[in-house]
Amino acid sequence: MKLISTSILVLFLYLLVTGQNERAIQKFNLHVHVNEVYPSGDSNLGHYPILWYDSQDAKVLVGGFGLGVSYQSQLKNQFYLRSKLDIQRSRYYDQPTIFNDANGASLGAFFGVNTSYSIHVSALPSIAFGAKSRWSFALGAGARVVLSSISDYGESFINGEQTALKFKRRAQAPVIAYCASRIRFNIGKLEFSTGLDADFTNASRLSTQKEKFYIWQTGIAHKL
Amino acid sequence: MKTFFTAISLLILCACNTKEINFIASLEIFPNPCAEQVFITLRPEVVTSQDLTLRVIDAKTDNLIVETLDLVPGNTVTVDMSAQAAGEYYAQIFKDEELSDTDIFIKAQ
């Protein structure tokens, strides 16, 4: 697994460096997107909606989003390489914990909301197709560096005081490699895209936790 | 082209088909959030296996705080948390060195 991860990272860095030598068609793009994390490998983790209204707690749930820039160069005919840099917020429901008082009486299950901020770099070889080459499909690799990860369990009475239960979560791996796929559609200077980032290294750095994330993202880009 | 789009649709559907949250705690952890100490009991109504190992791990550092061998359902283990920092902790149950279940508990300030 480590060998595969290393090989893909090396390939990704190679593409990132060598791709920039092709100067036939170069395009900078500005991206904004929304994302949703689908955890796997731990059935107690859950996905957090991109945008939803929680009528029980009467609050709006705002999930993941991000923005970034990309640089696209033509490799050959319909083949392109896009190098992308994103900053992203992503959210998911952490494993629920059952709060109990000192006598063991249950106070209910609390769902921690995990909010992570990360920087993503990716290299996406793409192929354009369809009428006027408006469509393109990309499959590549990337890595995200987790800058901050916070679990929020809301507030609870601890020793008679209302206490905010918000913790920095360092259980998340600081660098996670992933496989990225995108399908895109171009109209004029705008580009719509949707795709999936699938982790191939563990999202947790704890040796016993084996969760991996699938991050679905959809967004819009503007050619600069 | 049709095959290509079918493959992409399947890829997206597979990714979206995550498991639903089905949380049945095998451990009773109290008080949670804890302060000075925490009591951990293996629920006999959920766990029937014998000779289990309980490990408490700090989520920040991956450090092992306590390990209790040969745990049987119904037993209560007391863990001293007074020296630990506020944050999340994992209580993990192992059967023959295989992770069988994980519960999270919180140490408050």
User: Tens digit of pLDDT for each residue in B47-106?
Assistant: 777 788 899 988 887 788 888 888 888 888 999 999 998 888 989 888 888 888 888 898
CA distances from B105 to A148, A212, B3 (A): 21, 22, 47
Q: Which two tokens stand for residue A160?
A: 């008679």
Interfacial A residues in 27-46 facing B (CB < 8 Å): 38-40, 42-46
Give the bridge partners for A214, in sequence order.
A38, A198
| B88: CB partners within 8 A, 6+ apart | A112, A151, A167, A169, A171, B59, B60, B104, B105, B106
Please state the length of chain B.
109
Mean pLDDT score across all residues of chain A: 87
Give the bridge partners for A76, in sequence order.
A79
B106 with A159: Cβ contact below 8 A: no
Domain assignments of chain B as residue spans, ordered by start: 23-107
pLDDT tens digit string along A6-53?
A: 666 666 666 555 544 444 467 899 999 999 999 988 878 889 999 999
Q: Which fold has domain B23-107?
A: Immunoglobulin-like (2.60.40)
pLDDT at B21 over 70: no
Q: Residue A3: its pLDDT value, please?
A: 64
- Range B1-10 average pLDDT: 50
pTM of the model as a whole: 0.77
Interfacial B residues in 53-82 facing A (CB < 8 Å): 55, 57, 59-62
The amino acid occupying position A180 is A
- Range B17-36 average pLDDT: 70
- Range A160-167 average pLDDT: 82
pLDDT at A77 over 50: yes
Q: Which domains does chain A have, with CATH numbers?
A: 2-91+114-150+172-223 (2.40.160.20)
b (16+ CB within 10 A) / e for B80-104: ebeebebbbbbbbbbeeeeeebbbb
Secondary structure class of A106 (helix, strand, coil)? strand
Interface test with A, best of B2, B6, B13, B18 (most A CBs within 10 A): B18
| Contacts across the A-B interface (CB distance below 8 Å) | 119
Q: Residue A24: its pLDDT value, please?
A: 47
The secondary structure of B79-101 as a DSSP string is: EE-TTSPSEEEEEEEEETTEEEE
pLDDT tens digit string along A85-127?
A: 999 999 999 888 888 888 888 888 888 899 999 999 999 999 9
B15 with A214: Cβ contact below 8 A: yes
In chain B, whose CA is at the least distance from the CA of A153? B106
Secondary structure class of A216 (helix, strand, coil)? strand
pLDDT at A217 over 90: yes
- Range B28-36 average pLDDT: 89
Interface test with A, best of B6, B10, B22, B23 (most A CBs within 10 A): B23
Q: Does B103 touch chain A (CB under 8 A)?
A: yes
Q: Residue B87: its pLDDT value, please?
A: 86
Cα–Cα nearest to A155, from A105, A110, A90: A110
| A101: CB partners within 8 A, 6+ apart | A107, B30, B31
- Range A53-58 average pLDDT: 86
Local confidence band at A2 (pLDDT 50, 70, 90 cut-offs): low
| A102: CB partners within 8 A, 6+ apart | B30, B31
Q: Does A161 touch chain B (CB under 8 A)?
A: no
H-type alpha helices, chain A: 2-18
